[in-house]
Amino acid sequence: MRLLITVSLLLFFLKASSQQSNKNVDSLLNAYKINSELKNYATLAHDVSVKYGKAGDFVKALKYALKEVKFKKHLPVERQKNSLFNLGLFFYKNQAYSKSIDAYNKVIDSFSSDEFTYRAYCENARNYDKLGDFYLARNYYKKGLSHPK
């Protein structure tokens, strides 16, 4: 029932004007936080960050990704990795390459190796390329491309 209410509210808020939508989403996030519904908080923050990311508004996407990551421990492991991966992407899109590297390193270091790990290596290579460290970029590309198929 809560999920249905959450989805209904989210759809309503996302159809509202952008500025009003932000206030409504922030109000709903605050209500989840006050009521200790931290899984719902993280899930809503994720959904909103992805919405803004797909729309190309990476400043707002980053804002909500940071909110999601704050409570990632309340999510399943796959969602935790995804939240950190998205955070790295949104930092990259905002040209915060060092912060993007930090987020991707958390994906690499905090979880067992899987596709996210190897993708994070490649994303770090892109970051190091942007920072002008071509040696590290090359090494990270090698690690990322070494994924056993």
Show me where the domains of the chain are located: 2-144
Of 78, 88, 148, 90, whose CA–CA distance to 124 is shortest? 88
pLDDT at 45: 94
In order of 4, 28, 41, the CA distances from 31 in angstroms are 16, 5, 9
What pTM did the predictor assign? 0.84
Residue 105 makes CB contacts below 8 A (sequence gap 6+) with 120, 124
pLDDT per residue, tens digit, the chain (149 aa), is: 455 455 555 555 555 545 566 788 888 998 888 889 999 999 999 999 999 999 999 999 999 999 999 999 999 999 999 999 999 999 999 999 999 999 999 999 999 999 999 999 999 999 999 999 999 999 999 999 998 76
pLDDT at 145: 94
**Which CATH architecture group holds 2-144?**
Alpha Horseshoe (1.25)
What's the CA gap between 107 and 98, in Å, rounded? 15
